[in-house]
Each structure stands twice: as C-alpha cells, then as structure tokens.
C-alpha cells in the first residue's frame, strides 16, 4: 500500500490556497507527514517590463522576492496549526515547472492545490497551473474545491477538513486498481465510509441490464478483501449512464467529502478532451478530487521512479 510521507502545497495567497492548505494539513496530521509550502515568483512575465536596465531589474527582483518570503512566512504563521510540521520555500521560475521540479526533488507523495485562483482553471483552461500539474505530476494530486456541503469535524482542530465519506470510482482497469491502493489507507486513517462506484456506459437497449448490474456488483465485492471489510465501512454501487454525470450526481447525493479517480499515465490528460471523465469531475464536482496516475512505459523513460 502507498504511504504519504511528504506533502507539497503550492500557495498563491488566494482563498483557494487557504482551503487547499487546510486539506494538506489535515492529511499531514493523519499521516504524520510534513507539509511543504511553496510560492513561485514567475519571471517569465516580469512585473515591470519597462525595466530594461539589468541592475534596476535585479534590484526590483530582489525586493519582490524578499516580500514574497515574508508574505509566505506570514501566511504559514496565520494558517498553520501546531499539530502539523511545515516548511516554506520561495522559488523563481515558471510556476508549473517549479512545482513539478520541487515535487521530484523532495520525493513528494502528494500535491495539494486549489482548483481556482491559478489563472483560469475554473473556466476549464487546460493551460492553467493546476491543470498542467494534474496532467504531468508523477505523484497523486489532490485538487481542492470548497465542498458543496458542510460536514462535521472530528479532528479537534475546527479549521482542518475531516474526510468522512470517500467515493472511489473504478472501471476495473489497472489505473483504477492503483487508485484503490490510495483509497483504502485514506479511508482507514480517517475512519471514513468508502463507496465503490462503477458506471455502466453505452449499454445497448437490448442488453440484460439486471444481469450486467449484478456482474458489476459482484466484481466490486470481489475487490474488497476481508481485512478491508474489517476496518472500513464499504458500499459498492453500480449506476448506468455517463460516467462523469453519475460520479458527480452520487457525490452530491451522498455529500461525499472526497472523490478518488485513476488516470492512465502522466500524458493522458494532454489530449484535447475537455469531456474526459476526470477533468469534468474535477471541474464540476461538488468536492475535492484525488487524481492518481499510473505510470506508462513512456512515463518511466528518462524519469526516476519515486516512492508513492
């Protein structure tokens, strides 16, 4: 089973960053994992393009960097709780590359980011920072949006998010199996109810719907080993329709706190498919989504494997 030993939470000082940090700390608290707070100063688009004199530019750059360091430290002081170990890092460079680079350098097991506040992800812009990190990160990414419902907090720290209902989505593929390996420890650690969902799509009208549903339910039941049943409340569910629609609908109906999905490789979302199940659930779902990648052969070439 994967373990969470180090968490990266990029911060742009927006309200979504505050919410993402609350989730990062919650996971860090449960798994005793330190949280790395990162802010990136993007010099690809200088704040002062009229400064052509190198000395003046460097002076301005140094001033802004010092301000960013102070701002991040104040952010950490204002939003960090004593039960969580944190570290602050300020970097210069392209935001996405800096996030992915630090995640690799620090062997991060989880990246936690807000889905709004990073320039346009709320408009489904694949070029946004969160979108790029979702597609290219080697480790799981928790895309955080404010839940559409309120939930009771059992952590003893009022502002930290508690996860009580997890929805794990599976199409019985290899990437779904890897997502399952993340769903189980999260559910066990949070003592959360774990719903296993399979959606039957494109079923011909002539099909034996009851028979297909029964087969899918049986496969879901077979996926749950006895030790999981002893430690986690599980609930297998089969629905019929478009996968993303049924995932979002069930998550809303059940007041789910976290949806977990798997995707094929780090380049699966590079395709121009706004209608992909994962992207639609992240963009339109009622709660945070944990996206788990399974490495393909092309992903492994030239890149070091990390413990996830």
- pLDDT score of 295: 59
DSSP strand pairing (258-264 vs 7-10): unpaired
- Spatial distance between the Cα atoms of 126 and 271, rounded to a whole number of angstroms: 10
- pLDDT score of 55: 64
- pLDDT score of 290: 96
- pLDDT score of 270: 43
- pLDDT score of 152: 45
Q: 25: closest CA among 15, 16, 13, 36?
A: 36
| Angle, vertex CA 232, rays to CA 289 and CA 216, nearest 5 | 70
* CB neighbour list of residue 128: distance below 8 Å, 6 or more residues apart: 118, 119, 120, 121
User: Collapsing DSSP states into helix, strand and coil, what is residue 296?
Assistant: coil
> Which CATH code is given to the segment(s) 7-300?
3.40.50.12370
- pLDDT score of 110: 97
* Cβ-contact 25, 1 below 8 angstroms: no
- pLDDT score of 56: 62
Which mean pLDDT values do the consecutive 10-residue runs of the chain (308 residues) have? 90 90 94 96 60 62 87 94 89 93 96 71 54 90 81 53 93 88 95 97 83 96 95 97 95 96 62 63 92 65 40
CA torsion, ordered 136, 139, 145, 147, to nearest 10 deg: 150
* CB neighbour list of residue 246: distance below 8 Å, 6 or more residues apart: 197, 199, 239, 240
Cβ count within 10 A of residue 102:
18
């Amino acid at each position: 089973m994967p373990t969470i030993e180090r968490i990266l939470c990029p911060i742009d000082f927006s309200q979504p960053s505050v919410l993402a940090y609350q989730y990062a700390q919650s996971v860090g608290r449960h798994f005793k994992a330190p949280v790395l707070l990162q802010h990136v100063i993007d010099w690809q688009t200088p704040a002062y393009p009229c400064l052509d004199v190198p000395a003046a530019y460097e002076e301005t750059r140094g001033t802004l960097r010092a301000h960013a360091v102070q701002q991040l430290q104040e952010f950490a002081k204002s939003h960090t709780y004593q039960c969580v170990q944190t570290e602050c890092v300020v970097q210069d460079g392209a935001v996405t590359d800096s996030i992915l680079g630090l995640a690799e350098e620090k062997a991060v097991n989880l990246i936690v980011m807000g889905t709004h506040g990073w320039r346009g992800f709320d408009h489904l812009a694949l070029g946004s920072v969160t979108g790029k990190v979702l597609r290219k990160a080697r480790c799981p990414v928790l895309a955080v949006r404010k839940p559409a419902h309120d939930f009771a907090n059992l952590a003893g720290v009022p502002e930290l998010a508690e996860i009580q209902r997890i929805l794990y989505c599976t199409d019985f593929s290899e990437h779904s199996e890897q997502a399952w390996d993340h769903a189980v420890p999260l559910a066990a650690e949070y003592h959360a109810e774990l719903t296993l969902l399979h959606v039957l799509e494109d079923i011909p009208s002539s099909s034996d719907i009851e028979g297909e549903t029964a087969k899918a339910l049986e496969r879901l039941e077979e996926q749950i080993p006895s030790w999981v049943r002893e430690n986690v409340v599980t609930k297998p569910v089969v629905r019929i329709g478009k996968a993303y629609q049924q995932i979002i609908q069930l998550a809303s109906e059940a007041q789910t706190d976290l949806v977990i999905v798997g995707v094929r490789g780090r380049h699966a979302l590079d395709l121009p498919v706004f209608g992909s199940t994962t992207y639609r659930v992240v963009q339109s779902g009622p709660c945070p989504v944990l996206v788990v990648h399974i490495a393909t052969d092309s992903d492994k070439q030239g890149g070091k494997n990390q413990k996830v």
